[in-house]
Amino acid sequence: MKLQDSRILITGGSSGLGKEMAALFKQHGAKVLITGRDAEKVMRVAAELGVYGIAADVADEADIAKTFTAVQEKLGGLDVLINNAGFGEFAPIDAITLDQFERVFRTNVFGAALMGREAAKIFKQQKSGNIINISSSAGRKGFANGSVYAASKFAVSGLTECWREELRRYNVRVMQVNPSAVPTAFNVQDRSEKPLVDNMLTPTEIAHAIKGMLEMADRGFITELSVWATNPF
């Protein structure tokens, strides 16, 4: 697809990967709408980048409906959904709680699923579209104390594979990206950005990787892309 004049919705777009993607796509002529839970922050970042913004929490179904109303009003339709919103909670197996699972799954899995549901309605009708689910290297290999977060990202992989089988016949490309070590606001209590680290990835690398996936001609697509830091140790 061509980014010029494409209509792109990015959840969790006010910081980190989402913010970098929004900036890059805007630079290449796309119309972009970002969402975020912090109203002041998402509108400030949207103004900074020259994109549209809406305060919305993917864990709230009413906010999802509000988001897709904004998609029609501000973008005039949709070509790309990027399910980027997500967070993690971490604990050893003998200390995890049901509340941790419910909080993380409500955003990482249920929120992504309902965003995908609404995008699919649009894409099936127009017989075109792109969904990119941002997973994690933790969605391919678990780690100590990662039961809650890794399980949520393994679930995202399941969603991606099911949607791909359902939507290919409608010319809809469903893709997944698994970033490795990227310093962002992820898992930071006040949502401030972590400083970049020389031996880790930056949001820029991930954004450019996703741009390349989208710009492949519509006759084909990259089903899944894992992006690893060369030597994060």
Residue type, 19: K
Residues 6 or more apart in contact with residue 95 via CB below 8 angstroms? none
Distance CA 117, CA 163 (A): 9
Catalytic residue among 25, 52, 149, 186: 149
Active site residue 149: yes
Residues 6 or more apart in contact with residue 55 via CB below 8 angstroms? 35, 36, 37, 38, 39, 42, 43
User: What are the catalytic residues?
Assistant: 149
